[in-house]
């Protein structure tokens, strides 16, 4: 069959850019679709053609299969690549593409349906001889029944959404007393993310490793695996760092896991790229009898670049060729691994605030130019991270001869990366890459949670050093930064050292930095000339980048409250733009510090807000379903009577 002449990318951001690059290299006409929030996005600029499909919310744009299909017909697209997320595992959409005689770059609708619901998939593959985790995968969903099944399985258990993935609708429960609340939260999140609140309950595997096999199949019955990826470094069941091959993997286990993965693909008549994910009992090392089927993702994975690095293959090109009717150009024995690859997901999130998503303009964004480094991104400096979609800024992938070299190379690349504007997990990722136990291969899916305090630890002086450096550069001529609208000098005295308390806004809070003039130069309290601080100016503010963190320094705002203000007026404010999912208190109710008072959903994840003080609930400004801006007051807590 002939290769397609054109392809529409039914996705956005980094994966849309990734697909467009390969499609253009192959000579295909590329067609983008975009929401109002993405009108000026990088992938829109890269595509040969682009069409608006709706407002910013995904449910009103990227999830509208009929609208996207109408655009494909109008643009005379010969194929649609769904990327990952959105419509990538929507069997009805794949079926509609077939009826419209537009190729869907993915497996047959029957395979999507077979693997799309975790409970049905596990039942099917158990019959095919693929090992599965002990659990309840049935249709009954009432709380009392599921609570009893959890008790029968034995705690800890894992509640998982039947549909979808990405850690959404997933909760670990260690005690029966916590089960009902965790179940309600998982069901609610699953409903919001996938339109399906159903869950399954499984035994939580001790010392679990998350290892997956990349599989590929063509229309002629050829099925191969492209080796494994280890995705065990996770937060809230979201992958953070992925690598290939898996540390400690033996040839015997690779063969057993590869056979299970390809058997799973054959059991559902699979075609194209897919990933079979396994949970591995790592308590006694990796063993051929110690892995269990978890789920199959019937699409390309975010972490596919590490597989591309060690195999030398372009998985998107293979997807396009297989969808066009070509045979796989290799057999299993032809495939070899070369070196080691590690990928880190750079997110716009604030580790200092529980990794809450962060939004805003990317005032600075740059990456080093190093051998062995690949950067996949959907944004450039000047673009914005919006509250409507996943907050990933980029993926950094390093390929080296050995795992140790790859981890060191990735750590160095992260250290040299510059991000300003939204907060990022840059320093956290670097700390992970340099963590001795991770380097030694002593880790599982709980590694980050167990070591969170150490991994997120930044010297308390970091912000002060960064702010003092920025102020020093601002005040010390002949610096080019000295032409600030708030560059005024004061503190005149006839003799001795001149002292001045300089009022500033430091990370959004009123603060004071002491400045002295000793007759020879400025002495700024906290300034360290040896500190590696990069300064980025945006209007009247300065972003001081130091040790992977940003410190924002600006002029004191009139009436600004200082950081010494404690709990202030008791206002519970939204930490990010989002939607109110639940209000857990009523006016007049007495609460104690730490009581959950509301839940906000942002970027497809739920975030619980708690009382910061003992007191009585006052005014409640919003109700479930309302949208709230970052910093918006949801309710107040006053002094107890």
What residues act catalytically? Answer: 299
Which positions ≥6 away from 384 have C-beta within 8 Å?
359, 360, 361, 362
Q: Are 617 and 586 in contact (CB under 8 A)?
A: yes
Q: Are 243 and 269 in contact (CB under 8 A)?
A: no
CA 545/CA 411 separation, integer angstroms? 17
Q: Are 79 and 6 in contact (CB under 8 A)?
A: yes
Residues β-bridged to residue 555? 504
The sign of the dihedral angle between the CA atoms of 587, 591, 593, 594 is negative
CA 319/CA 299 separation, integer angstroms? 10
Can you read off the two tokens belonging to residue 148? 């009893």
CA 638/CA 621 separation, integer angstroms? 14
User: For residues 363-393, b (16+ Cβ closer than 10 Å) or e, as one string?
Assistant: bbbebeeeebbbbbbbbeeebbbbbbbbbbb
Which positions ≥6 away from 530 have C-beta within 8 Å?
none
465 burial via Cβ count (<10 Å: 0-12, 13-18, 19+): buried
Can you read off the two tokens belonging to residue 628? 């709230």
Q: What angle do CA 129, 131, 136 make, to 5 degrees?
A: 110
CA 511/CA 522 separation, integer angstroms? 19
Q: Tally Cβ neighbours within 10 Å of residue 315.
A: 21
CA 362/CA 175 separation, integer angstroms? 42
Order of all β-strands in the sheet with 633-638: 571-573, 633-638, 615-620, 590-591
Closest Cα to residue 365, out of 426, 314, 436, 450?
426
Using CA atoms of 567, 569, 572, 578 in order, give the dihedral in degrees to the nearest 10.
-120
Phi, psi dihedrals of residue 158, rounded to the nearest 5°: -120, 125
CA 299/CA 294 separation, integer angstroms? 16
Q: What is the DSSP string of 55-75?
A: -SSGGGTTT-HHHHHHHHHHT
Q: Are 540 and 600 in contact (CB under 8 A)?
A: no
CA 163/CA 128 separation, integer angstroms? 21
Q: What angle do CA 232, 234, 238 make, to 5 degrees?
A: 120
Order of all β-strands in the sheet with 170-173: 135-136, 199-203, 157-161, 170-173
Can you read off the two tokens belonging to residue 275? 């990933």
Can you read off the two tokens belonging to residue 560? 């600004």
Q: Are strands 392-400 and 103-104 parallel, antiparallel or unpaired?
A: unpaired
The sign of the dihedral angle between the CA atoms of 563, 569, 572, 573 is negative
């Amino acid at each position: 069959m002939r290769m397609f002449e054109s392809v529409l990318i039914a996705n956005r951001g980094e994966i849309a850019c990734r697909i467009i690059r390969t499609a253009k290299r192959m000579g295909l006409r590329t067609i983008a679709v975009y929401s109002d929030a993405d009108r000026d996005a990088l992938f829109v600029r890269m595509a040969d053609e682009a069409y608006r499909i709706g407002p910013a919310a995904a449910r009103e744009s990227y999830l509208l299969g009929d609208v996207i299909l109408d655009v494909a017909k109008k643009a005379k697209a010969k194929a649609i690549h769904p990327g990952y997320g959105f419509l990538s595992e929507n069997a009805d959409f794949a079926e509609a593409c077939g009826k419209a005689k537009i190729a869907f770059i993915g497996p047959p609708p029957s395979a999507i349906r077979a693997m799309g619901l975790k409970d049905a998939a596990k039942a099917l593959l158990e019959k095919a001889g693929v090992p599965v985790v002990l659990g309840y995968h049935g249709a009954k969903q009432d709380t009392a029944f599921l609570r009893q099944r959890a008790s029968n399985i034995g705690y800890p258990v894992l509640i998982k959404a039947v549909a979808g993935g990405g850690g959404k609708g997933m909760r670990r429960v260690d005690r029966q007393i916590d089960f009902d609340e965790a179940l309600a939260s998982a069901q609610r999140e699953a409903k919001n993310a996938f339109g399906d609140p159903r869950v399954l309950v499984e035994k939580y595997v001790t010392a679990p490793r998350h290892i997956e096999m990349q599989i590929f199949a063509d229309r002629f019955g050829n099925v191969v695996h492209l080796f494994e990826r280890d995705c065990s470094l996770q937060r809230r069941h979201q992958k953070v760092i992925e690598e290939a091959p898996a540390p400690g993997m033996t040839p015997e286990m690779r063969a057993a896991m590869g056979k299970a993965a390809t058997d799973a693909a054959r059991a559902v008549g699979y075609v194209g790229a897919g990933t079979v994910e396994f949970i591995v009992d790592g308590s006694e090392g990796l063993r051929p009898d110690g892995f269990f089927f978890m789920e199959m993702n019937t699409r390309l994975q975010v972490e596919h670049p590490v597989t591309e690095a060690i195999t030398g293959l372009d998985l998107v090109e293979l997807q396009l060729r297989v969808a066009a009717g070509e045979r796989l150009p290799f057999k299993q024995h032809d495939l070899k691994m070369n070196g080691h690859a590690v990928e880190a997901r750079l997110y716009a999130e604030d580790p200092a605030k529980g990794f809450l998503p962060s939004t805003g303009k990317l005032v600075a964004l740059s990456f080093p130019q190093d051998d062995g480094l690949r950067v996949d991104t959907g944004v450039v400096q000047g673009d914005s991270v919006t509250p409507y979609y996943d907050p990933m800024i980029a993926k950094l992938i390093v390929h080296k001869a050995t795992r140790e070299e790859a981890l060191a190379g990735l750590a160095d690349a992260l250290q040299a990366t510059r991000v300003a504007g939204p907060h990022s997990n840059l320093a956290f990722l670097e700390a992970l890459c340099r963590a001795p136990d991770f380097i030694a291969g002593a880790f599982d899916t709980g590694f980050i949670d167990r070591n969170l305090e150490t991994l997120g630890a930044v010297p308390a002086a970091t912000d002060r050093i960064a702010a003092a450096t920025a102020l020093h550069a601002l005040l010390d001529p002949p610096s080019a930064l000295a032409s600030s609208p708030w560059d005024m000098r004061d503190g005149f005295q006839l003799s001795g050292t001149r002292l001045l308390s300089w009022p500033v806004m430091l990370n959004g809070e009123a603060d004071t930095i002491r400045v002295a003039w000793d007759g020879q130069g400025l002495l700024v309290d906290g300034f360290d000339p040896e500190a590696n601080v990069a300064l980025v100016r945006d209007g009247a503010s300065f972003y001081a980048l130091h040790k992977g963190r940003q410190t924002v320094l600006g002029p004191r705002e009139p009436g600004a409250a200082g950081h010494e203000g404690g709990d202030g007026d008791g206002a519970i404010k939204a930490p990010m733009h989002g939607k109110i999912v639940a209000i857990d208190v009523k006016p007049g109710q007495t609460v104690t510090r730490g009581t959950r008072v509301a839940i906000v959903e942002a970027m497809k994840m739920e975030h619980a807000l708690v009382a910061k003080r003992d007191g009585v609930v006052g005014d409640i400004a919003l109700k479930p379903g309302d949208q709230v801006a970052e910093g918006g007051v949801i309710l107040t807590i006053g002094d107890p009577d």
